[in-house]
Amino acid sequence: MKVIVYAGSEFLTGDDLATALLEYSESLGAAHAAHIVEIPVREPDGSTVGATFLVGPASQIVVKDAPLSGAELSAPDVVAQLQSLTREQRPVMRVASESGEGLHWGEEF
């Protein structure tokens, strides 16, 4: 489990959720963009609620290890969505094969 420290408050969540949130925040920062996201967090009474975060270039998020208190909080669908959003922020470059297949240079080059 991880504790997310954000805006002076602490939020207990799963390892994968915390990592996905950090990675998405970093990608938004690089793109000079911001987004509002919701992830599940565990309350002191053991219940699970959604916490909404504004993440982007100005986000100051700290994640620290937390002692395991109950089962690991898991939300694979939320993690997958954050990972997808992260990939959308990162540029993609296609590399041609070593054989040069797929390269079609015009005479001007």
When computed from its CA atoms, the radius of gyration of the chain, rounded to whole angstroms, is 19
98: in domain: no
Number of domains in the chain: 1
85: in domain: yes
38: in domain: yes
104: in domain: no
72: in domain: yes
User: Rounded to an integer, what distance in angstroms lies between the CA atom of residue 69 and that of residue 78?
Assistant: 21
99: in domain: no
100: in domain: no
- Is the pLDDT confidence value at 88 over 70? yes
pLDDT per position as a tens digit, 56-75: 999 899 999 998 767 899 99
pLDDT reported for residue 19? 97
Range of the domain at 78: 2-89
- Is the pLDDT confidence value at 103 over 70? no
